[in-house]
Amino acid sequence: MAGYREHVTVSGLLGVAYGCAAVFLMGFSLVQGAIAAVLTGISGMLPDLDSDSGRPIKELFGVTAALAPLLLLQHIHALGVEGDRAMFFAIVSYGVVRYGGAFLLSKLTVHRGMFHSIPALLIAAELTFLAYHSDETRVRILVAVGVGIGFLSHLILDEVYSVQWDGARVRLAKSAGSALKFFGPAALPNGIAMGLLIFLTYATLVSLGIVRDPGKIPAPEVLRVTSDLDDAPPFRVAQEPTDTQMQ
């Protein structure tokens, strides 16, 4: 299994390459390319969020908790919330991710579980697409693909390191096949991952305009019964002649 240093090195190099390609080949701005590069490098460590303990995991949770308020502040500012309220939401989101998320993951996950899987990769990319606030869809796709690339590099590297060669023969370690998988051995994590993937995929397709948002379907036109009297000129009620008029 690849170590923390190997994952950081590979995802970091991929992030630099992806950021440069975004700026010089795809026409994105320098800031957008830099953001994509950083997210690609960080996402190369995301599958290890289910690891038992250790300094690298604590650092990873710290970085993840720091990114959550930044993504949240984008949406908060778009809603017109600023000043002290925005700062309050940022502090709360950091605490929830840094401590609440770490506690839940330690209780509900096992190492090399569904965090090391293709569905987890798609979930991470779609969450990034939905959470990143930008008026340009192509920018949101850029950062989401970057997260997917970094995540995939971790899974591939784990599988590569599970193949051992002693000079005479090649053998597979017990961890072989535990990273690039679609399903794990436990039914509950599989169900949760697939349910979340289906929900996020639907939300992503709606955001991209590929699937129509049910809340924006135009209401059917109200049928109005008309008659010839609608177009007729207004009429007056005839009054009976008075005695003066008869004389």
Q: Domains of the chain: which residue ranges?
A: 4-51+111-215
At residue 202, the pLDDT reads 95
Q: HEC states along the chain? A: CCCHHHHHHHHHHHHHHHHHHHHHCCCCCHHHHHHHHHHHHHHCCHHHHHCCCCHHHHHHHHHHHHHHHHHHHHHHHHCCCCCHHHHHHHHHHHHHHHHHHHHHHHHHCCCCCCCCCHHHHHHHHHHHHHHCCCCCHHHHHHHHHHHHHHHHHHHHHHHHHCEEECCCCEEECCCCCCCCCCCCCCHHHHHHHHHHHHHHHHHHHHHHCCCCCHHHCCCCCCCCCCCHHHCCCCCCCCCCCCHHHHC
- Rounded to two decimals, the pTM is 0.74
The fraction of the chain above a pLDDT of 90, given in percent, is: 31
**pLDDT single digits (tens) 114-159:** 778 899 899 999 999 998 888 899 999 999 999 999 999 999 988 8
Indicate the range of 135-149, 170-184, 229-243 predicted with least confidence.
229-243
**The pLDDT of residue 229 is above 50:** no
**The pLDDT of residue 246 is above 60:** no
